[in-house]
Amino acid sequence: MAQKFYVNPDGSYCGSLIDIDPEDAADEKYRYATEVASPPPSGDARQIWDGDSWLPLPDLPIVLYPVDLWSRMTDDEAAQVEAAMTTQPIRVQNIFKYASSYRSDHELWPLLETMATGLFGAERAAEILSAS
């Protein structure tokens, strides 16, 4: 059996075929696929082929759940955050108050980082804002 690996024209990994030519595959994703020597070394299909080699995986956004954010803070730190939040517009306050998670790829993450760093310093802010 000969297993061959394929990428789409955009370089995204589409999978492998065993003893089947791409044009004979039932799955349309292989129609315009190009054969490559190996699958992504990470085993993660988000890795992109640049025509010569696999690019590094993109950084995943930090996801922080409110329960972890608030659990990591002391009562005094939590009170400081609450006080600082009152200076923000109501819309921003409500986003933070009712969010099911905080993500580093969200437009308001820099505000959370700036606030935590300003209140507690970079090292403590990094501890509080680390991924859940």
Are 67 and 114 in a shared domain?
yes
Range of the domain at 16: 3-36
Question: In terms of C-beta density within 10 A (0-12 exposed, 13-18 middle, 19 or more buried), how is residue 7 classed?
Answer: buried
Residue 112 falls inside a structural domain: yes
* Tally of domains in the chain: 2
Cα atoms in the Cβ-side hemisphere of radius 13 Å centred on 119: 22
For residue 28, the model assigns a pLDDT of 83
27 and 72 assigned to the same domain:
no
- Within its chain, how far is the Cα of 48 from the centroid? 15
pTM above 0.85, yes or no: no
Could you give the CA distance from residue 130 to residue 61 in angstroms, rounded to a whole number?
A: 11
Q: Per-residue confidence of the chain (132 residues) as pLDDT tens digits?
A: 789 999 999 999 999 999 888 787 878 888 888 999 999 998 888 899 999 999 998 888 999 999 999 999 999 999 999 999 999 999 999 999 999 999 999 999 999 999 999 999 999 999 999 999
